[in-house]
């Protein structure tokens, strides 16, 4: 088994060091062997975007020896050498507009020196155009590769004024690619986000967006077939050390890490970081999630009072999640593009997508982060707390469960009055979602209450939470409204729980439970 390139993002180094490479060069060949073109690909972080651009660079530098034994080596291609401009916007932290102008100016100067040129212009966009023009005159048509094109925006997305300035700077810079079209052989840009057409790419009407193109849905990430072909031996070694058979191990890996889908076609992929980390350590953990969760996303969810239950099964057309405007941020596009939500199904008749969590890793880790944001229970402590709740649920011990549940409601901010019912509903949903229990909840804001049904394999719990009123009144309402009757024929034990919030402590006060009949 070859070593895994977990910290290697350069194709040449990966090949020279004898690391594992999941061959994507047949699809890459389709892009590089055609006529001149400009392409864009959006993918979540740690999906191999930098390695992809490095692979393009090696091809256009004519380094055929690196591709021996790979698909492209057997396909018709002239291996002509081109001058390459490879720009990465990720390394520089931008805190003001001048930082970005200076970085772009310095990088174009550095790239010029690499090609033996000295630029005469000073403005960042003019220097970019001069670099392309003079490279073409000296060495022929130019290849431009830009990695993490949107990093300066995403790094400042909560600062609306600065983001507008950054957008204007990037728009002028990227617009050079249209002005220089006759000088260019190939252009490829990558990033996490897909902004609306009126923003940074508005002048690039020749840019082909591959982000949801079915032909390139598996250009990054590993398919099920690639997983078994390249990692099958490692998975067998892993399963031999565990109680699982090879087939059972595959199913477990699939549940934890598969599920990312980027087109209407049902092609799903695994995140490379998660798979290689799992097979390196033989521990099921949240590897992709541990590489960083954007705080702005959690803040946006909270400040917009977003209904998190929608993430489990959201139906929307493509416009609702494929692109967004930084001046009017929406939760769904950000969740999709950053990888916390993916396509689960596509209804061709209605042209509607169903979105949801891609897999167990993302779902469980994201919920834990949200618990950290909404409750006093830190994400590091959430697992132990959830285990205690799980034990109480399995035993049908309502008192034990409610006492543990109070921990999650403790310390709700003073500026959130009891009338903010959604906040309480969200905490209730997060707890049950982490328990792996689907909660059916219905809002009745006019009456100031929360109705919820939590169903396990053996039990059904019908909850009524009173924001104003007593636990006895809540229980009586369950019986009066007959919320539980639809479950009477399920063969499961039914428990009715009425609870009331204490206005002083802003926590669950009293509760009362009864058997549902």
- 264 part of a folded domain: yes
Q: How many domains does the chain have?
A: 4
pTM for the whole structure: 0.91
CA–CA distance from 105 to each of 27, 150, 310 (Å)? 34, 17, 44
With beta carbons less than 8 A apart as the criterion, state whether 169 and 101 touch.
Answer: yes
CA–CA distance from 240 to each of 34, 227, 237, 249, 251 (Å)? 46, 18, 5, 10, 15
pLDDT tens for the chain, residues 1 to 517: 899 999 899 999 999 999 999 999 999 999 999 888 999 999 999 999 999 999 999 999 999 999 999 999 999 999 999 999 999 998 888 999 999 999 999 999 999 999 999 999 999 999 999 999 999 999 999 999 999 999 999 889 888 899 999 999 999 999 999 999 999 999 999 999 886 544 677 778 788 999 999 999 999 999 999 999 999 999 999 999 999 999 999 999 999 999 999 999 999 999 999 999 999 999 999 999 877 767 888 888 988 888 888 888 899 999 888 877 777 788 999 999 999 999 999 999 999 999 999 999 999 889 988 998 888 898 888 888 889 998 998 888 999 999 999 999 886 666 655 556 677 778 888 998 888 887 766 544 333 345 678 888 888 999 988 888 899 999 998 888 888 888 888 899 999 999 998 878 878 999 999 998 7
Integer Cα distance of 328 and 316 in angstroms: 18
Q: What is the CATH number of the domain that holds 137?
A: 3.40.50
Q: Which pLDDT score is estimated for 450?
A: 52
Q: Which pLDDT score is estimated for 414?
A: 63
Integer Cα distance of 463 and 501 in angstroms: 13
- 301 part of a folded domain: yes
Q: List the 314-316 sheet strands across, edge first.
A: 314-316, 352-356, 342-347
Domain shared by 300 and 285, yes or no: no
Domain shared by 109 and 173, yes or no: yes
The sign of the torsion formed by the CA atoms of 274, 390, 312, 337 equals negative
Q: CB 237: neighbour CB atoms within 10 A?
A: 12
Domain shared by 98 and 134, yes or no: yes
- 368 part of a folded domain: no
Domain shared by 157 and 183, yes or no: yes
With beta carbons less than 8 A apart as the criterion, state whether 150 and 194 touch.
Answer: no
Integer Cα distance of 468 and 214 in angstroms: 52
With beta carbons less than 8 A apart as the criterion, state whether 97 and 165 touch.
Answer: yes
Domain shared by 307 and 354, yes or no: yes
> 390: alpha, beta or left, given left = phi > 0 and alpha = psi -120 to 50?
alpha
Strand partners, 222: 270
Give every CB contact of residue 463 below 8 A, 6+ residues apart in sequence.
428, 450, 451, 452, 453, 454, 497, 498, 499
Which domain range does residue 321 map to? 295-360
Q: Which pLDDT score is estimated for 446?
A: 37
- 337 part of a folded domain: yes
- 371 part of a folded domain: no
- 3 part of a folded domain: no
Per-residue DSSP letters for 377-401? S-HHHHHHHHHHHHHHHHHT-HHHH
With beta carbons less than 8 A apart as the criterion, state whether 175 and 203 touch.
Answer: yes
- Backbone dihedral angles phi then psi of residue 83, each to the nearest 5 degrees: -70, 135
Which residue in 343, 339, 351, 42 sits closest to 209, CA to CA?
Answer: 42
Integer Cα distance of 3 and 450 in angstroms: 53
Tell me which of 191, 216, 241 is where a domain ends: 216
Domain shared by 422 and 507, yes or no: yes
Give every CB contact of residue 271 below 8 A, 6+ residues apart in sequence.
44, 46, 47, 221, 257, 260, 287, 288, 339
Integer Cα distance of 355 and 346 in angstroms: 9
Domain shared by 25 and 105, yes or no: yes
301-343: per-residue pLDDT in tens? 988 888 888 888 899 999 888 877 777 788 999 999 999 999 9
Domain shared by 212 and 90, yes or no: yes
With beta carbons less than 8 A apart as the criterion, state whether 372 and 430 touch.
Answer: no
With beta carbons less than 8 A apart as the criterion, state whether 212 and 318 touch.
Answer: yes
Rg of the chain on CA atoms, in Å:
27
Furthest CA-CA distance within the chain? 86
Domain shared by 88 and 141, yes or no: yes
Domain shared by 202 and 57, yes or no: yes
- 246 part of a folded domain: yes
Tell me which of 243, 261, 290 is where a domain ends: 290
Tell me which of 314, 331, 360 is where a domain ends: 360
Which residue in 209, 193, 206 sits closest to 156, CA to CA?
Answer: 193
Q: Which pLDDT score is estimated for 417?
A: 53
Domain shared by 347 and 458, yes or no: no
DSSP label of 351: T
Domain shared by 192 and 263, yes or no: no
- 74 part of a folded domain: yes
């Amino acid at each position: 088994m070859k070593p895994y390139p977990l910290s290697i993002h350069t194709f040449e180094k990966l090949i020279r060091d004898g690391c594992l490479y999941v061959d994507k060069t047949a699809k890459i060949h389709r892009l590089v062997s055609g006529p001149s073109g400009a392409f864009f690909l959006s993918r979540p972080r740690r999906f191999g975007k930098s390695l992809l651009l490095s692979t393009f660079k090696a091809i256009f530098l004519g380094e055929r020896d690196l591709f021996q034994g790979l698909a492209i080596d057997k396909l018709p291609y002239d291996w002509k050498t081109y001058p390459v401009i490879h720009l990465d916007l990720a390394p520089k932290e931008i805190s003001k507009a001048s930082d970005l102008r200076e970085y772009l100016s310095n990088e174009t100067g550095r790239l010029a020196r690499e090609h033996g040129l000295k630029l005469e212009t000073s403005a960042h966009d003019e220097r970019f155009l001069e670099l392309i023009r003079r490279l073409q005159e000296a060495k022929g048509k130019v290849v431009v590769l830009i990695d993490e094109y949107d990093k300066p925006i995403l790094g400042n997305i909560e600062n609306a004024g600065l983001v507008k300035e950054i957008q204007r700077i990037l728009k002028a810079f990227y617009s050079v690619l249209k002005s220089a079209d006759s000088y260019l052989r190939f252009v490829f840009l990558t990033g996490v986000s897909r902004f609306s057409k009126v923003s940074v790419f508005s002048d690039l009407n020749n840019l082909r967006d591959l982000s949801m193109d079915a032909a390139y849905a598996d250009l990054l990430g590993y398919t099920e077939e690639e997983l078994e072909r390249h990692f099958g031996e490692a998975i067998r070694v892993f399963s031999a050390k565990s109680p699982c058979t090879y087939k059972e191990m595959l199913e477990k890996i699939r549940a934890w890490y598969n599920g990312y889908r980027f087109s209407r076609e049902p092609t799903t992929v695994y995140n490379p970081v998660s798979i290689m980390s799992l097979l390196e350590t033989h521990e099921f953990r949240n590897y992709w999630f541990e590489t960083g969760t954007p705080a702005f996303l959690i803040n946006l969810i909270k400040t917009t009072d977003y209904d998190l239950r929608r993430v489990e099964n959201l139906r929307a057309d493509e416009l609702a999640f494929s692109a967004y405007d930084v001046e009017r941020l929406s939760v769904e596009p950000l969740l999709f593009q950053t990888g916390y939500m993916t396509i689960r199904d596509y209804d061709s008749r209605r042209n509607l997508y169903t979105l949801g969590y891609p897999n167990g890793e993302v779902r469980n880790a994201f919920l834990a982060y949200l618990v950290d944001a909404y409750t006093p229970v830190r994400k590091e402590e959430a697992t132990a707390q959830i285990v205690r709740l799980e034990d109480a649920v399995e035993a049908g011990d309502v008192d034990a469960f409610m006492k543990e549940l109070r921990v999650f409601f403790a310390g709700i901010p003073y500026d959130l009055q009891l009338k903010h019912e959604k906040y309480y509903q969200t905490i209730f949903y997060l707890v049950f979602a982490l328990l792996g229990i689907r909660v059916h909840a219905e809002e009745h804001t006019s009456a100031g209450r929360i109705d919820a049904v939590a169903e396990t394999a053996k039990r059904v719990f019908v909850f009524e939470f009173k924001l104003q009123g007593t636990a006895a009144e809540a229980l009586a309402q369950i019986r009066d409204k007959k919320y539980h009757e639809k479950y009477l024929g399920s063969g499961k034990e039914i428990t009715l729980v009425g609870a009331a919030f204490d206005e002083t402590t802003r926590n669950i006060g009293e509760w009362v439970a009864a058997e549902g009949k």
